[in-house]
Amino acid sequence: MLVRIPNVLTPAEVAHCRQRLEAADWVDGRVTAGQGSAKVKRNTQLPEEGEVATELGDLILTALEANPMFVSAALPSRVFPPLFNRYGPGDGFGAHVDNAIRQGLEAETRIRTDLSCTLFFSGPEEYDGGELAIDDTYGTHRVKLAAGDMVLYPSTSLHAVTNVTRGYRYASFFWLQSMVREDAQRTLLFDLDRAIQGLGADHPEHASVVPLTGIYHNLLRRWAEI
């Protein structure tokens, strides 16, 4: 399941983040790449333990906690502290699959990567190339979103960032462990939740709202790992 989550951050929050990112000190992006990924990765990142990464990461996590679409789609159990990257002319990241387990600076940040997240800080008009290309059974999806929007997709996906030929692409990337491990089950729950919410909004007194809500929670109770 590939889900676009619009307006995770407000325009004011995006502007603040861009100001902080553009003034920050950057390091080689291969510091967080595995042995295979390091061979195809060309970008720069903020130091994971740095003040800017910590500040902006906390801002993102606070916004996500209050975002109902994110919670519905991800059913998050644990979220890895957000990281930040920059792609300039000539930079890109070849096809790869994210590591199954991510270990942060602290022991408690070790998670199973069920879902990968990319939050954009650069608008699509600011750079050429730099699409997030995600492969699934329906082909390759090229993702290039507005600043403040985020895409959520299975960490099992083969994906890449195409070479940037003009401008700079700023983004945050991170992973999460979901309460529901299987993508097919998460997709079913997400679709059911959206249908219930739509029915409740259009017909709040409809007799099916409560039984369908019960079905949703019984499926979640069956599949969730907490």
Would you list the domain boundaries of the chain?
3-178, 183-223
Same fold, 3-178 and 183-223: no
205 residue type, one letter: E
pLDDT tens, 117-173?
999 999 999 999 999 999 998 899 999 999 999 999 999 999 999 999 999 999 999
The dihedrals phi and psi of 9, each to the nearest 5 degrees, come to -115, 150
Residue tagged 């606070």 (tokens): 62
CATH architecture designation of domain 3-178? Sandwich (2.60)
pLDDT tens, 174-221?
999 999 999 999 999 999 999 999 999 999 999 999 999 999 999 999
Rounded to whole angstroms, how far apart are CA atoms 117 and 155? 9
Mean pLDDT of the chain: 95
51 contact partners, CB below 8 Å, separation of at least 6: none
Rounded to whole angstroms, how far apart are CA atoms 76 and 73? 9
CATH architecture designation of domain 183-223? Irregular (4.10)
What's the average model confidence in pLDDT over 95-122? 92
* pLDDT confidence of residue 107: 73
For the chain, where are the E strands, in sequence order?
3-5, 27-28, 41-42, 44-45, 76-79, 83-87, 92-96, 101-102, 111-112, 115-120, 127-128, 132-136, 139-143, 150-154, 159-161, 166-167, 169-178
